[in-house]
């Protein structure tokens, strides 16, 4: 047991340092002064160097060889440490630190370019990020990860066991039904009304906090701030969320908040016995996204919950032009081919992800040059959505992910939707009176079921396994597509 105990103590310190690195990233996106960007890049590189040194410390290999797990949870922790140790050993310390330094600076460069709609300002930095991540993918593939495929080796970091070809097959099965549904909805005789009023920042933020509370966010272990791109950060007993405000589009603020609360509640709901261990975080980004998407969509955009939200918005903002809760429900779920992924309706959202997935696979393989990325994006977007991109901030500059090196991350959003569809089916069967609580602004019956059946396990089970355990059946895209068809065909009367 000495080797196991020594390894767990060492790992606990490594996990704590990782949380500190995450807090630096949170600060950079919320509070850091602009002039600190270069210095923050050096700080991030320094702490990544320390983390990489610990993650590849030869003693970890020795402990792994000698350790005997006391139980199944301990064995799973050893397996996860061994996996991370093997992956990190493939990456030279120089490369790990350089990725941290360049992506920290790139994030600020991207924000500047996005604000100015200036692609040229960002592309040289993105070129460096792509080269570094391709080098990392090649090193991992050479080490046997991702089956020797560069993109799959990177994808495996976010969704262990997934492959690009496997995801492409899922997307290939989803696309025909999504496109057929979209065409039917856009051709419907009557479309929901859009919002046409202004909603003050203070009112939006006050209601955003109320929404977070309704979905069970623990304010004693979290906080809400503003960011250019909403995100959730941290785990254990410190899981923070951000949102953004557009005075003509309060749904951007409200549903970004609910989405990020889903991420944070996953982390906060993990068994405290797993704190600062390999089991003490969400098992994959796909499973993580399943929580944010089911909170945001199947629960937050349901007829029951939007009825409550309608009344709260009237109390906060007064009459805003929609005559009743049914009209409001239709407006919340209005289907239209917009530019922005994070604002996309449930029907279009996965089409946004499919486009990004294809483009980033091409970037990593070298089939698409960074210099040609904007043209490729705009051409594909017009083909998929029938609308021409009007400016870069509505196109290739809208997402932060590539600037910070998250290649392989995008497809996990759609996988999360697939998992959420399965979880929603199981949840509705297990809690038949769910809508009664949602109509009162009380999501606790749903969030309690999710915490008990999925969230508390953290990294104890593999991604598909934890979803199957919660649902009672293996995950596939069918429940999501059935849910979308039933909801939107009824909503549009087709």
Per-residue pLDDT tens, the chain, 494 aa: give them: 699 999 999 999 999 999 999 999 999 999 999 899 999 999 999 999 999 999 999 999 999 999 999 999 999 999 999 999 999 999 999 999 999 999 999 999 999 999 999 999 999 999 999 999 999 999 999 999 999 999 999 999 999 999 999 999 999 999 999 999 999 999 998 889 899 899 999 999 999 999 999 999 999 999 999 998 899 999 999 999 999 999 999 999 999 999 999 999 999 999 999 999 999 999 999 999 999 999 999 999 999 999 999 999 999 999 999 999 999 999 999 999 999 998 899 999 999 999 999 999 999 999 999 999 999 999 999 999 999 999 999 999 999 999 999 999 999 999 999 999 999 999 999 999 999 999 999 999 999 999 999 999 999 999 999 999 999 999 999 999 999 999 999 999 99
Q: Structural domain of residue 411, as residue ranges? A: 165-492
Domain-embedded: residue 148: no
pLDDT given at position 13: 98
Quick one: which of 101, 13, 14, 81 has its CA closest to 52?
Answer: 14
Alpha-carbon span 333 to 344, nearest angstrom: 10
Domain-embedded: residue 158: no
Is the same domain home to 220 and 285? yes
Is the same domain home to 297 and 364? yes
Is the same domain home to 182 and 282? yes
Is the same domain home to 92 and 238? no
Is the same domain home to 104 and 190? no
pLDDT given at position 20: 96
pLDDT given at position 340: 92
Domain-embedded: residue 55: yes
Domain-embedded: residue 13: yes
289 carries an active-site annotation: no
Alpha-carbon span 247 to 437, nearest angstrom: 29
Domain-embedded: residue 124: no
Contacts of 165 (CB under 8 A, 6+ apart): none
What CATH number does the domain containing 424 carry?
1.10.1370.30
Contacts of 356 (CB under 8 A, 6+ apart): 341, 399, 410
For 37-46, write each residue's pLDDT tens digit. 999 999 999 9
Please count the structural domains in the chain.
2
Domain-embedded: residue 136: no
Domain-embedded: residue 157: no
Is the same domain home to 219 and 343? yes
Alpha-carbon span 341 to 147, nearest angstrom: 30
pLDDT given at position 1: 64
Is the same domain home to 105 and 182? no
Is the same domain home to 233 and 300? yes
Is the same domain home to 370 and 312? yes
pLDDT given at position 229: 82
pLDDT given at position 343: 86
Query: Where is the domain boundary, 58, 90, 117?
Result: 117
Is the same domain home to 111 and 181? no
Is the same domain home to 87 and 223? no
What pTM did the predictor assign?
0.93
Query: Where is the domain boundary, 95, 117, 139?
Result: 117
Alpha-carbon span 296 to 337, nearest angstrom: 19
Is the same domain home to 391 and 253? yes
Domain-embedded: residue 378: yes
Q: Which of 29, 260, 267, 374 is catalytic?
A: 260
pLDDT given at position 53: 94
The CA dihedral of 108, 114, 115, 116, to the nearest 10 degrees, is 110
């Amino acid at each position: 047991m000495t080797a196991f105990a020594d390894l767990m103590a060492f790992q606990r310190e490594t996990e704590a340092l990782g949380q500190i690195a995450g807090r630096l990233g949170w600060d950079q996106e919320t509070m850091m002064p602009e002039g600190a960007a270069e210095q923050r890049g050096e700080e991030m590189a320094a702490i990544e160097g320390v983390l990489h040194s610990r993650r590849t410390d030869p003693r970890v290999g020795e402990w792994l060889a000698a350790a005997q797990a006391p139980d199944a949870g301990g064995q799973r922790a050893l397996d996860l440490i061994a996996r991370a140790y093997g992956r990190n050993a493939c990456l030279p310390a120089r490369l790990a630190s350089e990725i941290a330094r360049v992506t920290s600076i790139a994030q600020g460069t991207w924000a500047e370019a996005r604000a100015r709609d200036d692609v040229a300002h960002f592309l040289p930095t993105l070129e460096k990020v792509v080269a570094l991540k391709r080098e990392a993918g090649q090193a991992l593939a050479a080490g046997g990860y991702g089956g020797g495929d560069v993109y799959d080796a990177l994808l495996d970091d976010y969704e262990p066991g997934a492959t690009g070809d496997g995801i492409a097959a899922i997307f290939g099965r989803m696309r025909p039904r999504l496109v057929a549904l979209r065409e039917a909805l856009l051709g419907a005789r009557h479309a929901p009304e859009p919002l046409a009023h202004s909603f003050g920042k203070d009112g939006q933020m006050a209601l955003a906090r109320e929404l977070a509370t309704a979905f069970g966010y623990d304010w004693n272990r979290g906080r809400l701030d503003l960011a250019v791109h909403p995100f959730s950060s941290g785990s254990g007993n410190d899981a923070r969320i951000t949102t953004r405000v557009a005075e003509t589009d309060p749904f951007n603020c409200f549903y970004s908040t609910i989405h990020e609360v889903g991420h944070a509640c996953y982390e906060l709901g993990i068994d405290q016995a797993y704190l600062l261990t390999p089991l003490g975080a969400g098992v994959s980004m796909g499973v993580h996204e399943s929580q944010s998407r089911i909170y945001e969509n199947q629960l937050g955009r349901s007829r029951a919950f939007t009825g409550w939200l309608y009344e709260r918005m009237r109390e906060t903002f007064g009459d805003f032009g929609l005559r009743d809760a049914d009209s409001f429900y239709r407006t919340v779920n209005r289907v239209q081919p917009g530019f922005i992924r994070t604002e996309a309706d449930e029907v279009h959202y996965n089409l946004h992800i499919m486009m990004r997935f294809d483009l980033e696979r091409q970037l990593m393989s070298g089939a698409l040059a960074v210099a040609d990325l904007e043209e490729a994006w705009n051409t594909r977007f017009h083909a998929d959505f029938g609308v021409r991109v009007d400016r870069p901030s509505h196109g290739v500059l809208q997402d932060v992910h590539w600037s910070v090196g998250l290649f392989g991350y995008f497809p996990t959003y759609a996988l999360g939707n697939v998992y959420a569809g399965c979880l929603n089916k199981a949840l509705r069967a297990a809690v038949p009176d769910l809508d009664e609580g949602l109509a009162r602004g009380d999501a606790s019956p749903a969030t309690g079921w999710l915490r008990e059946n999925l969230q508390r396990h953290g990294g104890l089970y593999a991604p598909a396994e934890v979803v199957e355990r919660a649902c009672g059946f293996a995950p596939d895209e069918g429940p999501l597509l059935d849910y979308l068809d039933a909801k939107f065909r009824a909503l549009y009367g087709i």
